Amino acid sequence: MSNLGKLLYFISTFVVPLSIIGYCLIPIIDGMNVYAVARIPFTNNYVHSFSMILFTTSFILFQLTLKHIPIITRFIVSFSLISLHSYIGGFLWDLNNMYFNSEGHLMFLINLCVMVWLSFILLTLSKHYSVFNRNINKSRVSLLFVLFLFQFIGFYGLYITNFWGKLDLYNQGVGSDPNMNPFWVIMRLSSFFLLYPLLVNNREDESNEIEPPRF
- Coil/strand/helix, residue 39: strand
The partner residues of 39 in beta bridges, in order of sequence, read 46
Q: Give the Cβ contact number of residue 157 at 10 Å.
A: 17
pLDDT of residue 27: 94
Residue 213 maps to a domain: no
- Coil/strand/helix, residue 126: coil
The partner residues of 103 in beta bridges, in order of sequence, read none
Range of the domain at 144: 3-208
Per-residue pLDDT reduced to its tens digit, 67-118: 888 888 999 999 999 999 888 888 888 887 777 766 767 888 888 899 999 9
Q: Which residues contact 199 (CB under 8 A, 6 or more apart)?
A: 62, 65, 66, 81, 131, 132, 133
Per-residue pLDDT reduced to its tens digit, 142-195: 999 999 999 899 988 988 998 888 877 887 888 777 878 899 899 888 888 888
The CB-based long-range contact list for 160-168 (8 Å cut-off, 24+ gap) reads 164/96, 164/97, 164/100, 164/101, 165/100, 165/101, 167/97, 167/101, 168/101, 168/103
Residue 24 maps to a domain: yes
Domains contained in the chain, number: 1
pLDDT of residue 57: 94
Per-residue pLDDT reduced to its tens digit, 35-55: 999 998 888 889 999 999 999
Residue 46 maps to a domain: yes
Residue 213 has pLDDT above 50, yes or no: no
Residue 110 maps to a domain: yes
Residue 124 maps to a domain: yes
Q: What percent of the chain has pLDDT over 70?
A: 91
pLDDT of residue 207: 44
Residue 215 maps to a domain: no
The partner residues of 48 in beta bridges, in order of sequence, read 37
AA letter at 155: F
